Amino acid sequence: MKIYLNGKFVSKKEAAVSVFDHGFLYGDGAFEGIRSYKSLVFKLKEHVNRLYETAHTLMINLPLTKKQMIKAVVDTLKTNNLRDAYIRVIVTRGEGDLGLDPKKCFGRPGVIIIADKITLYPKELYNKGMEIITVPTVRNCPEALNPRLKSLNYLNNILAKIEAGNSGYNEAIMLDHQGYVAECTGDNIFIVKDGILSTPSQGRLKGITRDTVLALAAKTKIKTEERLITRHEVYTADECFLTGTAAEIIPVVKVDGRVIGNGQPGALTKKMIKMFKTETTKDGVKY
């Protein structure tokens, strides 16, 4: 495996950052998870735009232009001879001292790109559906650390993931600071009720797969809503599914012990999965 590290390709053993890097010391940086399908990097431009938006808010001046970043991602895939892969792009503020002040970071921000395989959930869950729970850990408040920032500090999500795992579940719903459904630890969430596809409007990441689902629904005249959603509405939904770059689209059939619909992946969920798979073959950057 060859890893892109600040403009050079190095081996896995050689890929290292300084212990004084602010990304390591404080989670001071940004990242993106991207997928390639049959030599097409799905929604690469959208992922790069989101990365640069996060970096802009964090006031990290990336050393690459967007065009150069896209090329670096493609070059990483080519160097590793990968047609189907998961790509992790990591940006750190760079090396500094032990203090918090980012102004004391010297040199250029770091850029790391890793391309490899990933399996987020067992294959059988995509066929029969997944059971999830709601965990006590609340999603970050937008006024504290905005969930739309895909930063290197994912401790909020990790704590929720730990709670899910301790209870024997692969994934869990996180509520926002007002008690509404926000998202899951690593995925966005959708529900279907009376033919209407709904997803939370606040307290969550602006997911690329989420936006793709909304766009596909609009194309096929499926009514969609981005709004506040309560757990009661999830419990009484006809269907439920999660979306994410690594997860793609996965059905949910039980939440907090409540069966969703008839306890099987729903018709609209299956339709979205099929449409999404088709979309991954044509919307992106070929290499």
In three-state secondary structure terms, 224 is strand
Distance CA 13, CA 1 (A): 10
| Residue 182: other Cβ atoms inside 10 A | 24
Query: Dihedral sign, CA of 205, 277, 160, 119?
Result: negative
Residues 34/245, Cβ–Cβ less than 8 Å: yes
Of 239, 128, 240, give the one whose Cα is nearest residue 183. 240
Name the catalytic one among 2, 43, 150, 161. 150
Distance CA 29, CA 108 (A): 13
In three-state secondary structure terms, 84 is coil
Q: Which two tokens stand for residue 61?
A: 């001046």
Active site residue 150: yes
Residues with a catalytic annotation lie at 150
